[in-house]
Amino acid sequence: MPLHRAMAASAVLMALLTSVGLTDPEFGSVWHDGKAELDGYRLTMLRYGQPRAGQAVMVYVTEPFRERARVKADDPSRDPADVFDVLKLNLVRDFQTGIYDYNTMVSLFVRSDTFAPVKVSFSSSEWCGNVYEELLIDPGKIRHQLLSYFEGETSSGSLPRPPGGMLEDELYVRLRGLRGDLLRPGERRRLPFLASTFYRRMAHQPASWSTAELERLAVPRQVRVPAGAFSVSEYVVRVADGREGRFDVESAYPHRIVKWAWTPPRGVEPAHWLGGADSAELEGSARLAYWNLHANGDERYLQQLGLTPTVSR
C-alpha cells in the first residue's frame, strides 16, 4: 500500500477508535494524578417561573473513602480493609432570585472501579434558611435523611433500591463513559429512576422512585459553547412525569459534559411553575490541585474556568 494511503487509513482508524472510546487512557493514569478536574459553567435556572442567571462548577476528584462511616479517610493506612477508592463529584450551583441568592451543592460519591454510587449529600443555603439531605446507598436499600428549616419536612427512613435503578445525580458521572460507554450510539434503555436531590429541593418533592428512558442519539454532532467548539454525543433522559434532560458529552477524552438542559414536567407552563429546571454551558476547564489555591490572588485561576469571584472589591 502506498505510504500516503497507509497514513490516510491509519488516520481513519484512529478517528474510529477515538469515536468509540477505545483510545481512552487508563482511568488511574488520569484520575490518580493528584489533581481535580474543574469545569465552570454559565448557568440558567428557571425558578418561580423566570430564568435566573448564575454559575456552576463541577469538581471531579478521586479520594480514599471509609465503608462504614461513608466519609473521606484521613489516614487510609489505618484499617485499610475499611477503605476503598471513590470518584467524587461536587456540583455547585449559585444563582440569584431577586434580592437574595441560592447556594447549593450536590456531593456524589461513586466507587472508582464500578461507578456504583455509595453516597449523595445535598445542601441548600438561601436567605430563608438551610436544608441538608443525605442518601447512604446500600445493596437493595437507600438510607435517607432530610433536615429542613420548613416545618414538617424533616424526615428520615429508607427507600428500596430496585435492581438496575439509577439516581439522577449519577448521570453527571455515568454519561461521561470514563470506563466505557453507558449506551452505544442509537441505544435506548428504560430503568427505575430517582429524581435528583437538587430538583426535589427546588420542587419540594419527597424522594420516591419513578422511571426514565435514557437514549444516546446515533450520530455525533458539533456544538459551540463559551469554552469553544466540540464534537459531542447527545443523550436524552425522558422521565415518566414528562421532565426531559439533554446532555451533550464531549466525544474525545475526558468526555466532559459540554452542555445540559432540563425542561419542566409535561403539561407545566414554565411561566407559572414554582419548581426548578436548569441549563448550563461549559465556559472553561482545568486540572488543578485547587485545595492549595487559597491565597489572596489565587482567584485568578477562576479565569481558566470562565468564572468570576462571587465577591470582589
pLDDT digits (tens, 9 = 90+) for 44-59: 999 988 999 999 999 9
Q: Rounded to the nearest 5 degrees, what angle is found at the Cα of 130, between the Cα atoms of 208 and 311?
A: 125
The Cα–Cα gap between 137 and 115 comes to 12
Q: How many Å apart are CA 175 and CA 189, to the nearest integer?
A: 13
CA neighbours closer than 13 Å in the CB half-sphere of residue 307: 27
Please give the Cα distance from 242 to 250 (Å, whole number): 26
Q: Tell me, what's the pLDDT at 313?
A: 64
Q: pLDDT tens digits, residue range 259-311?
A: 999 999 888 877 777 778 999 999 999 999 999 999 999 999 999 999 998 77
* Torsion on CA atoms 191, 194, 196, 202, rounded to nearest 10: 120
Which of 114, 153, 112, 162 has the alpha carbon at shortest distance from 133?
153
Tell me if residue 86 falls in helix, strand or coil.
Answer: strand
pTM above 0.85, yes or no: yes
Contact by Cβ (8 Å): 211, 191: yes
| Nearest Cα residue to 91 out of 203, 26, 172 | 172
Burial track 34-45 (b if 16+ CB lie within 10 A, e otherwise): ebbbbbbbbbbb
The pLDDT score that the predictor gives to residue 1 is 41
Torsion sign across C-alpha atoms 259, 202, 286, 12: negative
What is the predicted pLDDT for the residue at 310? 79
* Regions of the chain short of the pLDDT cut 70: 1-23, 312-313
Asked whether the CA dihedral 169, 56, 226, 256 is positive or negative, the reply is: negative
